[in-house]
Structure 1
Amino acid sequence: MGYGLGIFLLALGLILAFAVQDAINGVNLTMVGYILAAVGALAIVLTAITANRSRGAHTVATTTHSDGSQTVEERSNRVD
């Protein structure tokens, strides 16, 4: 699943929903188009979320010294 699949489903769904005037017995092409458009939009959103999640890492390390003091070290690794 990726951006290409999402865009394809969105475009196909919008074409079926708004441009096709034919009728098939037992099939509402307008509703099928709306469903495909919704699935395509969802695929685009989920692809964007998963791609953004893997772009960087954030780590926090706490070190306790022998005198009782603590040192906190934060690291952010972003891949651009």
Structure 2
Amino acid sequence: MTIAGGIILIMLGAILTWAVEFDIAGLDINVVGVVLMLGGLVWLLFAIYRVRFARRAVAPTTTVVEEDPVTHRRVYQERPYDDPPVV
């Protein structure tokens, strides 16, 4: 689910609603366009929400595990991105 997918659905729905003059028996193109626009809007809002919280959850790759008070040496631990964040 990306932001571009929501925008594409909104654009497609707008084209079907206001630019297409075509009649199909039993199907209203204007209603299909409005449904696509609403679905695109929901998709867009969810994608923005997901991106907002995904950027906040990034953990650092290098953390200080312990520090020696006498020599002031720090021991670092390298972690891959798939490990949970150290709190």
Q: d(CA) in 2 for partners of 1:19 and 1:56?
A: 41
Q: d(CA) in 1 for partners of 2:24 and 2:33?
A: 13
Instruction: Look up the match of 2:3.
Output: 3
How far did residue 54 of structure 1 move?
1.6
The C-alpha deviation readout for 1:4-42, integer Å capped at 9, x for no partner, is 211111000000011111101110000000000011111
Q: d(CA) in 2 for partners of 1:43 and 1:49?
A: 10
Which of the two has greater strand per residue?
1
* Percent identity for Structure 1 against Structure 2: 32
Q: How many residue pairs end up in the alignment?
A: 57
- 1:9 partner SS: helix
**Counterpart of 2:33 in structure 1: which amino acid?**
G
Instruction: Look up the match of 2:55.
Output: 55
Q: d(CA) in 1 for partners of 2:3 and 2:54?
A: 16
Structure 2 regions of 5+ residues with no counterpart?
A: 58-87
Instruction: Look up the match of 1:40.
Output: 40
Q: d(CA) in 2 for partners of 1:50 and 1:3?
A: 10
Structure 1 regions of 5+ residues with no counterpart?
A: 58-80
TM-score scaled to structure 1, two decimals?
Answer: 0.67
TM-score scaled to structure 2, two decimals?
Answer: 0.62
Instruction: Look up the match of 1:71.
Output: none
Q: Name the Cα RMSD after superposition.
A: 0.9
Q: d(CA) in 2 for partners of 1:20 and 1:56?
A: 42
